[in-house]
Structure 1
Amino acid sequence: MRIIKWAGLFSVLMMQLGCTNVPDKVEPVSGFELPRYLGQWHEVARLDHSFERNLLQVTATYSMREDGGVRVINRGIDAQSGKVKQAEGKAYFVEDETVGRLKVSFFGPFYGGYNIAKLAEDYSMVLVIGPSLDYAWILARSDQPDASQCREFYEAAEQIGITEKSWIRLLDCGLPANFKSPA
């Protein structure tokens, strides 16, 4: 019985470690400055996943926690019910605080990777990749981001292995209408 208990604990530990890894072809940005990153971001586009399905006008707001971590508030409007949905999480650096590689948790002790793969020099737009290429977001400070900047971030994602047609777009960016929409 003790072996089964330890095997289960080991499995959970391995799953947690695996969820914070950096996917192939993703290089977290260096020279990262957390104070410049804090504040509100608008979701430009995301890959489809159940925990954000049908959400519109999605924002992510980052602030400091008393324990030195980052408070994460994700908020959006459910397209079907019109109700606001919100999730609160916490994030911590995995290694060096000047590298855009964090682990984030919305569910107790379970963390997932939050890898900043591309960040505009002025911190106006970011490409975030999760623990695998199945999780990705393009965020902008503005709810009306510049089309050329959007194109640059979609192209960066394509180089990593995320095709343009994979995205669900929430903000127009003046790009062609062949993208998926969440509604």
Structure 2
Amino acid sequence: MAEPLDDPADQPECPFSQGGGLLPDELRTWMVLLAATGAVEQRLRSVVKETLDVSHDEFLILCLLAEQPEGLRMTRVADLLGRPKTRLTYQIACLQHSGLVTRKSVCGDKRGVEVALTEKGRGRLREASARLSETVSRALTETIGPAQRAALSALVPDLADDAP
């Protein structure tokens, strides 16, 4: 995997920042968002593995559960992440084996399974959150330049209103 460049000026310009091609503004802006998301995911993969010792997909599950103190049904987790239920079952089993999540049957529904973050999982996320947040911020700062911010603001004007 290629190492990220440290200086944003060394980054190649995003091909979607120029405009004037075949894509309408909405699709071009969507591509800018995808590029930014890809950059964040690429950076997060190694930091997540190093700090939490889980895969990126398992990290996404932990993040979903962190926002749901009561837990979530596995079908809902699969829907939110766009993952097949069979793959999710394996990932949940790995997280459960690590003591980061619990899994239990849903009362009154034989097929329903609910997963929740354990205290150990909450603690690990709390400990790693500063480093993970810094990773996300840095990746976004290096990926979304002035042209991309302008494209996003033009497409979603309310974003510019909330800017500091």
Superposition TM-score, scaled by structure 2 size: 0.31
Higher strand share: 1
Higher helix share: 2
Superposition TM-score, scaled by structure 1 size: 0.28
Higher relative contact order (CA closer than 8 Å, sequence separation 6+) = 2
